[in-house]
Amino acid sequence: MSAFEFFFSFYGLVLGLSVAVIATGLATAIQHRRKIRIGWLTPLLALFVGLDIATFWDSAWNTFRDAPYNYGMLVAGMTIALVYFVAASLVFPHEITDGMDMDDHFWANKKVVLLLTTLATILMLLVSIPQVLTTPGGTTTALGLLALLGLYIVMTVPAALTRNRTVFAVLIGLHVALYLASAAASPFVPETPEPPAAAPTAGA
């Protein structure tokens, strides 16, 4: 097992638990659908957080697969993944009661969920930029990441703060659409070739 595989196995485990928390909440809501009102706000939030985690997971693979392992990277990865886990845990209520309107839980927790995903994204960028700057064209890539972070904040923070359903739906719906479009286009984007292995030295 390589150093990156060791790091990513732990990192991926926590992110995987975040997805499992969302899936469990959704399954529980569907199971009690005759007794509660699910609405569309919570499912849209759940879809966004799930896609955000997947995008974050993909970014970690692309950024850190060639990075040297160290304890600091493990702690940073754990911190970011735990922020996502807390956000995912707040999407659906932990207890379902008869006659419950899930919109009430949504309005009570939506702000925290979206601000936590924003925090995780900012932390990820802070950890990624030093690694990105060591690669060819790193400055350009880093500027691109900062631009994407700005777009993320512009779309997510207002959605976190608004009490208007339409504003939330437009901002998060557009964000979800961009994620899905990126996923659909990804099979057609050529992979970045991995650097060739060093030739063995004489007598090795």
What is the percentage of the chain residues whose pLDDT exceeds 90?
Answer: 49
Q: Quick one: DSSP state of residue 203?
A: T
pLDDT-based confidence at 92, cuts 50/70/90?
very high
Q: Which residue has the higher pLDDT, 190 or 82?
A: 82
Using CA atoms, how far apart are residues 154 and 178, in angstroms rounded to an integer? 14
SS3 202: coil
Q: Which residue has the higher pLDDT, 69 or 153?
A: 153
Using CA atoms, how far apart are residues 73 and 165, in angstroms rounded to an integer? 39
Q: Please report, as a single letter, which amino acid is at residue 162.
A: T
Residue 192 has pLDDT above 60, yes or no: no
From the list 62, 52, 70, the residue with the least C-alpha distance to 6 is 70
Distances in Å between the Cα of 136 and the Cα atoms of 50, 74, 133, 141, 189 are 32, 25, 8, 9, 19
Counting Cβ atoms within 10 Å, is residue 203 exposed (0-12), middle (13-18) or buried (19+)?
Answer: exposed
Give CA 146 to chain center in angstroms: 16
Average pLDDT over residues 146-164: 95
Using CA atoms, how far apart are residues 32 and 92, in angstroms rounded to an integer? 13
- pLDDT for 165: 96
- pLDDT for 197: 41
Give, in degrees to the nearest 5, the angle at Cα 161 between 24 and 165. 70
Residue 204 has pLDDT above 60, yes or no: no
**Structure tokens given for 123:** 């932390």
Residue 66 has pLDDT above 60, yes or no: yes
- pLDDT for 185: 87
Whole-structure pTM value: 0.85
